[in-house]
Structures are given as C-alpha cells and as structure tokens.
C-alpha cells in the first residue's frame, strides 16, 4: 500500500467515491477549526495532499490507460500548494473570528462602565469608616439575633461560650448600603465588637472580581475568543451572585 493510500486509510484499488468519502471524513476530523490538537494543521495538509495525488492518479487512469502518468514530485508539489492554500483560507477565517473585538461580544463597551460603577459603589461602601448604630436586640433560636429589623447570625464566640446578655446592641454598619459587619451587646461580658457570621460584607470579593474583569474587557487585549467570552460570562456571574446577596439583605 502506498503512503497516500495509508494516509487516507483506503486500499490501493479504492474507487474515486471511496477516496472522496475517506477524505471528507478525515478532513472534518483534522480541520484546524474543529480539532485543537497541535498537529491538526499538519495532518490536514497531509490528508489533502494525499487526496489530491490519488484523485489525480485515478482521473488520469480513467482518461487513458496508455497515457504516461505525470511526475510524482510535480504532483506532490501541486498538491502541497493546494493544501496550503486551503489551510490559509481556513486560517484567515479563524483569525477573523478570533479578532472579534471584545465590545462586539454580548454587549458594547459603554456597558462595562456601568459594571465598573456598580463595583466601585459597593467597594467604596466597604472601605469607608463604619458607622455605629444602637438598636434593641432579640435572641432567636439560640443562633440568631434580631436588631434594627435585620436577622443576623451570632458570632462564634457567643455560640460556643454562651448567649449574650443585654437589651441593646451596637452595630458596626457600612455608611452607604448599611451592611452590618460586627456587633457588641451592651451589658454583655464581651467588651469588644464581634463579627457577624455570614455577614453580607464577606461577599465583597465578588465586586473586586467584577471590577477587574470589567477593566480587562475595556482594555481589550485578550486575543482568544473563548477567553473574551469567559471574561464577560465571569462578569455576569459576579454581578448576579452579588445581586442576589443584596436582594436577600434588603428583603430581610
């Protein structure tokens, strides 16, 4: 069996139909746009080269059995040139797709400024000095306490060492949104603020992630289309996740 028959996986007496069928199957399998393997392009060129040579030989035999065949080297070079031309065409199409600007995927560039504004709003709220707010306190289910209309989880210290004693509580609150990060029960044995477990402030990392991804989207230096999609999908996930946290907070 010749090398070209071996490449296409067909017998030496294969018909034109069999050769074309084998080529179509292998071309789809090793097409660079469909196969991410490093050697896919080279395999595609070899397959196309083998196909062109075998097709040329079969067509020549059908026209005349007495006419001498063209030189193999000439046919090989012609097949290689054709295969490279085909590959370059596919590569140009792929490069054009890869070069799609970031601002043309899912939403335009100006929307990123909205994401940045949202992220900066919550980040600024978390960084500004906290306000102290005094409220009455009610213990619930030996795990939670209700203060200023919000149901909060007691600190690990109170859960392990005994419930707080007192009727009033001081809350450490963010100045804009009003997230509660810590508390101190007036009259309790603890003389310092204790962290509220599962506080909404613990999820601020999502806003830092959103800010970083939005800036990446604006800079538009990412080349691969899948990475561009990942950036924007990540922005959506961070926004939705933190949005749910915010809605749960205001609806408490």
Q: Is 173 or 11 the better-scoring residue by pLDDT?
A: 173
pLDDT of residue 193: 94
Mean pLDDT throughout 221-233? 86
pLDDT of residue 113: 96
Evaluate if residue 11 carries a pLDDT over 70: yes
Looking only at the bridges linking them, the beta strands covering 144-147 and 180-186 are: unpaired
Q: Is the CA virtual torsion 153, 158, 163, 166 positive or negative? A: negative
- The region of weakest confidence among 38-42, 57-61, 164-168, 207-211 is 57-61
Architecture of domain 3-98: Orthogonal Bundle (1.10)
pLDDT of residue 45: 84
The mean pLDDT value of the chain amounts to 85
Q: Which of 44-53, 56-65, 143-152, 185-194 has the highest mean pLDDT?
A: 143-152
The domain locations on the chain are 3-98, 103-252
Q: Is 2 or 137 the better-scoring residue by pLDDT?
A: 137
Mean pLDDT throughout 49-59? 76
Mean pLDDT throughout 174-188? 94
**pTM exceeds 0.85, yes or no:** no
Evaluate if residue 62 carries a pLDDT over 70: no
For 71-91, give the secondary structure using H, E and C.
CHHHHHHHHHHHHHHHHHHHH
**Percent of the chain whose pLDDT exceeds 70:** 86
- The region of weakest confidence among 39-43, 86-90, 99-103, 134-138 is 86-90
**Could you read off the pLDDT of 119-146 as tens digits, one per residue?**
999 999 999 999 999 999 999 888 999 9
Position 207 confidence tier, pLDDT thresholds 50, 70, 90: very high
Whether 191 and 183 have beta carbons less than 8 Å apart is answered as no
DSSP per-residue letters across 37-64: -TTHHHHHHHHHHHHHHHHHHHHHHHH-
């Amino acid at each position: 069996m010749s090398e070209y028959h071996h490449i296409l996986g067909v017998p030496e007496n294969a018909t034109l139909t069999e050769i074309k069928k084998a080529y179509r199957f292998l071309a789809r399998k090793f097409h660079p746009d469909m196969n991410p393997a490093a050697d896919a392009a080279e395999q595609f060129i070899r397959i196309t080269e083998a196909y062109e040579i075998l097709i040329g030989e079969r067509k020549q035999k059908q026209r005349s059995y007495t006419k001498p065949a063209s030189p193999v080297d000439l046919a090989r070079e012609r097949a290689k040139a054709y295969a490279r031309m085909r590959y370059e065409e596919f590569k140009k199409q792929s490069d054009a797709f890869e070069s799609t600007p970031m601002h043309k995927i899912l939403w335009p560039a100006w929307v990123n400024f909205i994401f940045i504004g949202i992220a900066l709003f919550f980040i600024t709220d978390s960084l500004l000095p906290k306000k102290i707010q005094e409220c009455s306190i009610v213990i619930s289910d030996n795990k939670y306490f209700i203060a200023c209309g919000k149901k909060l989880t007691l600190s690990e210290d109170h859960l392990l060492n005994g419930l707080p004693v007192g009727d009033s509580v001081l809350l450490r609150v963010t100045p804009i949104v009003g997230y509660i990060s810590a508390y101190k029960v007036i009259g309790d044995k603890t003389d310092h603020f204790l962290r509220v477990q599962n506080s909404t402030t613990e999820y601020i990392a999502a806003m830092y992630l959103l800010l970083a991804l939005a800036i990446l989207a604006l800079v538009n230096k990412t080349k691969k289309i899948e990475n561009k999609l990942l950036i924007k999908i990540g922005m959506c996930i961070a926004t939705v996740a933190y949005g749910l946290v915010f809605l749960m907070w205001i609806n408490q």
